[in-house]
Amino acid sequence: MGGDDEKKRKAGINAVTSMMMMLAMAHCASTSHVSMTQKAVQAICEPVKYKETCKESLSLANTTNPRDLIRIGFDAAKRHLAAALHTSTSLTKTETDPQTEKALKVCNQMLDMAIYDLQKSFDKMGQFELFRVDEYLDDIQTWLSGAVTYRVTCLDAFENNTSSARRKMEKTLKAAAEINTNALSMVNKIKNLVKSFDGLGKSRPRPLFARNHGYPVWVDHGRRKLLATNSTEGPVVADAVVDKDQSGNFTTLTAALAAVPVRPDNKTYVIHVKEGVYEEKVTIPYNLTHLTVIGDGPDKTIFTGRLNFVDGTLTVDTATFSALGSNFMAMNMGFKNTAGAVKEQAVALHVGGDMSIIYNCSIQAYQDTLYAHAHRQFYRDCNISGTIDFIFGNAAAVFQNCLLLIRKPLHGQDNMITAHGRTEPGANTGLVIQNCTISGEPEYLGVKDVSRTYLGRPWKPYARTLIVDSQIDDVIDRSGWATWPGADYDKTCWFAEFRNRGPGKAGRLRANWPGIRKVDAVQVADFLPENFIYADHWIEQSGVPFSPGNKTT
C-alpha cells in the first residue's frame, strides 16, 4: 500500500473512531440529568429495532465506550441462550413424546453452537484493531449471523409440533433473538460507516496467512505436498489414513476423528480416506477445526447413508456427513443419501463450519441434498444433484464451476434448486451460483415439461440468491423462480440473475415480484468471492483454484 493510501486509511480510521464516540452521545445531548453511561446506552440503542430490550441488556453497563457496550450486548445474548439451553436440556430429560424429544435434542446442539458463535464475536470485539476493522467486522457479522441461524434451526425442529415444550422454547429464546437482531444492526452500521471511507474497504492480509515458501504458515508441510499433488496421481502425505480394507490406521473415518489430537497452534490435520464405499454417519463437531479430509476421487471414496424424514429423523439429523468445525476442507470425495425421493428430506452433506471448502466432490440425493447451513463456504468443481430445495440453508456460500443436475422427482412434484433461509435483513448470508452449469439428468429430461424446475424459492423472509455467468440449459421454467407456499416472502427476498447464457436464462416471461432484482456489474461484485466471503483471506491460501471476481477460470 502506498504512502498516500496509508494516510487516507489512517484518516478514515480516525474519522470512524470519532464518529463511533459521537454516536454514543449525539442523541442524548439535552438530557444532562442522565449519567454519561446512560446517555451512551440510550444513544447506541436508538437506531436498533428492539430498543427496550437493548437498554435492558445494557442496564448494568458502566462505560461509555461503544465497543465495550456492544460486547456487553453480545454477552447478554450469550447468557440468554445459555438459559434457553438449560431449559432445553431440562425438558429433554422429562419429555415423553418422541418427536418433541428429538426436537429438543436438536435445540441442545444448535444452542450450544450459537453460544460458541457469540463467544467468538465477544472475543473478537475485544481484540478490535481499527486498521483491520473491515476484516474484524466481517468475522463478527458472520458469527452473529451463525448464532441467528442456529437459534432458528432449534425452533424449526418443532415444525408442526404444538407441544408445550415448543412454546417454552419460543418464550425463552425471545430476548436472545431480539438482542441478536440488535447486535447485527449495530455491527452493520459500523460496517457501512467504514465502507463510506475510501481506503478502508479491505484490510491487509491476516498475519495468520503469512507466507512460507508460497504457502500460508498454518499450512503444514504435509498439507502443502497434499495440495501440490493430485492425489489420484501419487501417494498422499497425511496425518492419518482410513481404509476399510485395513491397510491404514483406521477402518472408519469416525474412528480417525476420535483420534485427532489437540493442536493449540491450529495446525491443519490431514486425513486420507482411501477408495471404498463407507456406510457410516460422520459428524465433525464444531470444536474440531482445521481439518482436511481427502479421498481418492468423487466416484471412488464415497460416504453413503439413507436416514430420512419419512422414517422419523428430523432433517438436520438425516445428513450422511456433517462438517461443523471451522476451516474444514473436503477434496476428491463423494457424499450420498440413497433414501430416494419417496422418503422426502434426506441430506447427503451438511456443512456448518466457517471458512469451509468443498473441492472436486460429488453430492447426490433427492430432496435437501446439500444443507449449506451457516457461515462462509466455498464449493469448487463439484457435482450436486437433487430435486426439491437441493441446495438449502442460511450460509454465505459461493458455488464456482459446479455442475448442478436436476433429478426426476415424484409424480406431481416440481423441483427447486435453491432454498435460502435468511431470516434477518442484517445477516451477511446468501447463495451465489457463479460460472456453473445447470442441467438435468437424462431421466428428468423426459418429464421436464410435466415436473417443472425453478432456480429457487425463498425458504425464509430475506432469502438471497444470485445466479451469475452460468450456463442454464433448457430445464428451467420460464418464470425462473417459485414462491414459498402460504408466505409473502416474494416481497422481501432478494433474487437476481446476471450475464447468464443458454436457453434457460432470464427472458421476458421471468417472474417480476418485488423480490426479483435487476442488478448491474457493480452490485454483482459485492456477491463474488473476494467481497462476499473475503476469499483472499482463506481460499487463496488453501491451494484450491478460485476466481475472486468476475473472471472465472
Distance of alpha carbon 393 from alpha carbon 350, whole angstroms: 9
Residue 6: predicted pLDDT: 54
Task: Indicate whether 51 and 183 sit together in one domain.
Answer: yes
Q: Are residues 95 and 190 in the same domain?
A: yes
β-pair partners for 503:
none
Q: Which cell numbers in the block locate residue 317?
A: 439429523
pLDDT digits (tens, 9 = 90+) for 43-55: 888 888 999 999 9
Measured distance CA(193)–CA(181) in Å, rounded? 19
| 339 in any annotated domain | yes
- Return the C-alpha cell found at 137: 467486522
Are 62 and 189 contained in the same domain? yes
**Of the candidates 526, 534, 527, which has an alpha carbon nearest to the alpha carbon of residue 203?**
534
What amino acid is encoded at 192 in this protein? N
What the block records as the C-alpha cell of 81 is: 441462550
Q: Are 70 and 190 members of one domain? A: yes
Q: How many domains does the chain have?
A: 2
Which residue has cell 441488556? 57
**In this predicted structure, what is the pLDDT of residue 291?**
96
Give the confidence band of 37 by pLDDT, cuts at 50, 70, 90. Answer: confident
**Is it the case that residue 408 has pLDDT exceeding 80?**
yes
C-alpha 84/C-alpha 95 separation (Å) is 16
Show Cβ contacts of residue 182 under 8 Å, excluding neighbours closer than 6 positions: 45, 48, 49, 50, 53, 54, 57, 73
Whether residue 33 lies inside any domain: the answer is no
Question: Residue 123 domain-assigned?
Answer: yes
Residues 290 and 189 in one domain: no
Catalytic residues: 389
Of 370, 403, 433, which residue sits at a domain end? 370
Cell numbers of 59, please?
Answer: 442496564
Residues 192 and 315 in one domain: no
Instruction: Give the Cα separation of 253 and 477 in Å (integer).
Output: 41
Q: Is residue 69 part of a domain?
A: yes
Residues facing 331 on adjacent strands: 294, 359
Asked if 481 and 506 touch (Cβ cutoff 8 Å), the reply is no
> What is the residue range of 332's domain?
241-370
pLDDT at 304: 98
Over its C-alpha atoms, the chain yields an Rg (Å, rounded) of 24
Residue 192 and residue 261 share a domain: no
pLDDT digits (tens, 9 = 90+) for 373-387: 999 999 999 999 999
Is 12 inside any structural domain?
no
DSSP, residue by residue, 403-417: EEEE---STT--EEE
How far is residue 30's CA from residue 28's CA, in Å, rounded to a whole number?
6
CATH code: domain of residue 356: 2.160.20.10
In terms of Cβ atoms closer than 10 Å to its own Cβ (0-12, 13-18, 19+), residue 198 is exposed
Per-residue pLDDT, averaged over 205-213, amounts to 36
As a dihedral over the C-alpha atoms of residue 162, residue 167, residue 173, residue 175, rounded to 10 degrees, the angle is 140
CA distance 465 to 99: 32
Q: What nine digits make up the cell of 97?
A: 413424546
Using the 3D structure, point to which of 346, 370, 394 is the last residue of a domain.
370
**Does residue 552 have a pLDDT over 90?**
no
pLDDT value of residue 258: 96
Within this chain, do residues 172 and 256 fall inside the same structural domain, yes or no? no
My answer on whether 268 and 323 are in the same domain is yes
CA nearest neighbour of 357 among 372, 379, 381, 335:
379
348, 374 in Cβ contact below 8 A?
no
In a domain, 316, yes or no: yes
Q: So what's the pLDDT on residue 434?
A: 97
Residue 124 confidence (pLDDT): 86
Do 43 and 190 fall within a single domain?
yes
User: Which residues partner with 335 through β-bridges?
Assistant: 303, 363
Is the pLDDT score of 209 beyond 50? no
Give the span between the Cα atoms of 502 and 30, in whole angstroms: 62
Listed residue (529, 480, 535) closest to 505, CA to CA: 480
Summarize the confidence of residues 481-486 as an average pLDDT. 96
Residue 302 belongs to some domain of the structure: yes
Residues 48 and 180 in one domain: yes
Sheet holding 403-406, edge to edge: 276-278, 301-305, 334-337, 362-364, 383-386, 403-406, 437-440, 471-472
**What band does 248 get if pLDDT is binned at 50, 70 and 90?**
confident
Q: Check pLDDT > 70 for residue 3.
A: no
Asked whether residue 206 is assigned to any structural domain, the reply reads: no
Give yes or no: residues 333 and 254 share one domain. Answer: yes
> What number of CA atoms fall less than 13 Å from residue 295's CA on the CB side?
25
Residue 55 in contact with residue 45, Cβ under 8 Å? Answer: yes
How much is the mean pLDDT over the chain?
Answer: 87
Q: For residue 166, give the nearest of 174, 156, 158, 177 by alpha carbon.
A: 158
Q: Show Cβ contacts of residue 450 under 8 Å, excluding neighbours closer than 6 positions.
A: none
CATH no. for residue 168? 1.20.140.40
**Of 21, 40, 215, 5, the residue nearest 131 (C-alpha):** 5
| Nearest to 304, CA basis, from 281, 283, 322, 324 | 281
DSSP string, 268-320: -EEEEE-SEEE---EEE-TT--SEEEE-S-TTTEEEEE---TTTT--GGG--S
Transcribe 241-252 into DSSP letters. EE-TTS-SSBSS
30 phi/psi in degrees, rounded to 5: -90, -5
d(CA 545, CA 523) in angstroms, rounded, equals 24
* Element at 222 (helix H, strand E): helix 221-228
* Domain end point (choices 142, 168, 197): 197
Decide if pLDDT at 553 tops 60. no
For residues 284 and 324, what is the distance between their CA atoms, to the nearest angstrom? Answer: 6
Give residue 4's pLDDT.
59
Residue range 152-201, pLDDT digits in tens:
999 999 998 888 999 999 999 999 999 999 999 888 888 777 766 655 54
Return the higher-pLDDT residue of 439 and 548. 439
Is pLDDT of 134 > 90? no
3-state helix, strand, coil in the chain (%, to 5): 35, 20, 40
The per-residue pLDDT for 216 is 37
pLDDT in tens, 73-106: 889 999 999 999 999 999 998 888 999 999 999 9
| Predicted local confidence at residue 34, as pLDDT | 56
Backbone torsion region of residue 501, taken as left when φ is above 0, otherwise alpha when ψ lies between -120 and 50, otherwise beta = beta
pLDDT at 162: 86
